[in-house]
Amino acid sequence: AQSVTQPDIHITVSEGASLELRCNYSYGATPYLFWYVQSPGQGLQLLLKYFSGDTLVQGIKGFEAEFKRSQSSFNLRKPSVHCSDAAEYFCAVGEEGGGNKLTFGTGTQLKVEL
């Protein structure tokens, strides 16, 4: 069965510093991978997705992620974090043939210090 691991429960970075959130997945075939962000009391907003092709994908709000098949990873990065980026971030894998059944990780809570 597919699974997603986000090893870091909490991360704190200074405003302006770079950010990398880790995500490892377990999946038998070519995965459909997603990063979502959730602000308190709200739903999930899609940051970016990987279906195939270029392994470096660009998303909204200046985020990017790199798919590394050899490491079963899909880490999220941002070169310079803003205080508005403080939120919870979820990595998810979708079943082959459709992204409709998503399996999520437990999330990483990002805190940004001024």
Partner 1 sequence: DAGVTQSPTHLIKTRGQQVTLRCSPISGHKSVSWYQQVLGQGPQFIFQYYEKEERGRGNFPDRFSARQFPNYSSELNVNALLLGDSALYLCASSQEGNQPQHFGDGTRLSIL
Residue numbers at the binding site for partner 1 (CB under 8 A) = 4, 32, 34, 36, 41-46, 49, 51, 90, 92, 94, 97-107
Tokens, residue 106: 């437990």
Whose Cβ is closer to partner 1: residue 92's or residue 112's? Answer: 92
* In the complex, minimum distance from the CB of residue 3 to partner 1, in angstroms, rounded to a whole number: 11
Whose Cβ is closer to partner 1: residue 53's or residue 114's? Answer: 53
* In the complex, minimum distance from the CB of residue 49 to partner 1, in angstroms, rounded to a whole number: 5
110, β-bridge pairs: 11, 87
